[in-house]
Amino acid sequence: MKRLVALGFVLALMAAAAAAGYGQQTLGPPVLDMRQLYQVVGYIYDLDPDLLAAIATAESNNNPQAVSPKGAQGLMQLMPDTARRYRVDHPFDPVENVLGAARFLAGLRAWSRLQAPYGEVDLPAVIAAYNAGTGAVEKYRGIPPYEETQAYVRKVLWLYLLGQPPPHRLNPMQTSGHATYEASPPRLPASAAERRAAAAAPPKPQSRSIFDQLAEIRRGRERAKAKETAERAELHINN
């Protein structure tokens, strides 16, 4: 409830600030503070604002009016079925579009935890599912071998973790929006017995891919940030 109240309050402030800016300028409509929007929506759905910003850049190059050849719409390139499922009535409204994408990502995060033996979130798999759908990720037990999806995951991770697009030789194909099969809703494992069996099975040896390495960089940054926050809190209490 507090998160919803915060959303309404901050969005009201954003609207008021935009209206004030509009009154001072006559050359065009007010400009929405996208960074602030990502921060608010990230707080509501417990998502990193940097991840939302990275997806917006990868999906539409930050264009709220973008439409892909496959029909994906808006800033976060939501397919029409996905937009309806996540209550986005106006997909070209950046606020509604980001809110819908955040609901979608929150659902994918929950789905990822259900797939993992210990409830961890597989960030590359979540990003892949945003593009190709959960069914494809489950089928291939990870990032599907689709050129578009692999390039998309790579681009989002570079933007999210390093703050820049990948080198030219790693750039994804010139496509935007999700694959047409993206709209399938998150699917749970067949049974609890399967999850217990997966937890009991020894891990399969795997070589560390670029996705694993980038995800580990992000986890390291988050651990360092959490440690710094805890130390500051402890220092404040002691003083």
Q: What is the reported pLDDT for 119? A: 81
Question: Alpha helix locations (H) across 25-48?
Answer: 34-45
CA distances from 219 to 153, 161, 173, 174 (A): 17, 10, 28, 30
d(CA 238, CA 235) in angstroms, rounded, equals 5
CATH class as words, domain 35-189+206-227: mainly alpha
204 vs 159: CA distance, rounded Å? 29
> How sure is the predictor about 205, in pLDDT bands with cuts at 50, 70 and 90?
very low
Instruction: Please list, in sequence order, all residues whose beta carbon lies within 8 angstroms of the beta carbon of residue 37, skipping any fewer than 6 positions away.
Output: 14, 94, 95, 98
pLDDT of residue 118: 80
Residue 200's pLDDT is: 60
Residue 170: what pLDDT?
Answer: 47
CA distance 124 to 137: 10
Structure confidence at residue 110 (pLDDT): 95
Compute the distance between CA of residue 198 and CA of residue 83 in angstroms, rounded to an integer.
33
Report pLDDT for 85.
96
Quote the tokens at residue 5: 């109240």
Report the chain's mean pLDDT, rounded to a whole number. Answer: 78
The predicted pLDDT at position 26 comes to 43
pLDDT band at 174 (very low <50, low <70, confident <90, very high): very low
Q: Point out the residues that are catalytic.
A: 59
Contact 211, 143 (CB under 8 A): yes
Q: Which range, of 124-128, 148-152, 169-173, 193-197, averages the lowest pLDDT?
A: 169-173
Q: Which of 24, 59, 28 is nearest to 156 (CA)?
A: 59
CB-based contact 42:102 (threshold 8 Å)? yes
Pick the more confident residue, 192 or 39: 39
Model confidence band, residue 10 (pLDDT cutoffs 50, 70, 90):
low
pLDDT value at 4 more than 80: no
- What is the percentage of the chain residues whose pLDDT exceeds 90? 50
Confidence of residue 235 (pLDDT cuts 50, 70, 90): confident
Mean pLDDT of 81-85: 96
Q: How far apart are CA 155 and CA 19, in angstroms?
A: 35
What phi and psi, each to the nearest 5 degrees, are found at residue 189?
-60, 160
pLDDT of residue 191: 52
Q: Which residues contact 86 (CB under 8 A, 6 or more apart)?
A: 78, 99, 100, 101, 103, 104
Amino acid sitting at position 212? D
Burial class of residue 12 in the structure, from the number of CB atoms within 10 Å of its CB (0-12 exposed, 13-18 middle, 19+ buried): exposed
What pLDDT shows up at residue 237?
Answer: 79
What percentage of the chain exceeds 70 in pLDDT?
64
Q: Across residues 150-173, what is the average pLDDT?
A: 79
Tokens of 86: 């996540």
